[in-house]
Amino acid sequence: MYKKPLSFILVLFLIHMICITSVSAVVPNDKETQRIAKMKERISVIQLEKKRVVITRWDGTKLKGRTGEIKESSFFITDEQTGATSEVNYNDVAQVKTKGKGLSTSTKVLIGVGIAVAAVALLFIIKPLGKSPFPKCNADKSNAPCDNS
């Protein structure tokens, strides 16, 4: 008599406990800690990709070069022109930008659009000349080959 309601309550209790523990495990940190964690991750990725970087500090100064050694609370940046190495604390960094030699996303999109426009224009140029890029076939059911003229 009490087995079904008791088992139902027990299942609900277990589901509730699983949800509570998974939600309490994801405690949001304060914004500054999250910002520094993202910056550490970004600097390490930039170092692996060996890209040039522009670091803007909170006081407005900019450092340009390549990243060097990465520590827990700071990292080193080497200026390519002078060879000088500077230690930068993560707390001092306002912005991180990469200076790559590759194409930007907008340039890639414009190239793709240009190719598509050229393909459509080519179709409209070929059509008036009377030369269709597609073979003409008779509507009859014979197995005769298509006429390409």
pLDDT in tens, 15-55: 766 766 555 445 556 888 888 888 888 888 888 878 888 88
User: Are residues 72 and 91 both part of a single domain?
Assistant: yes
Examine residue 145 and state whether it is found in any structural domain, yes or no: no
Buried b or exposed e, range 19-49, using 16+ CB within 10 angstroms: eeeeeeeeeeeeeeeeebeebbeebeebbee
Q: How many domains does the chain have?
A: 2
pLDDT at 12: 64
Same domain for 81 and 35: yes
* Entry pTM: 0.48
Would you give the DSSP letter of residue 136? B
Provide the residue range defining the domain that includes 51: 31-99
Q: Which amino acid does the sequence have at 86? A: S
Give the pLDDT confidence score for residue 134 in this predicted structure: 62
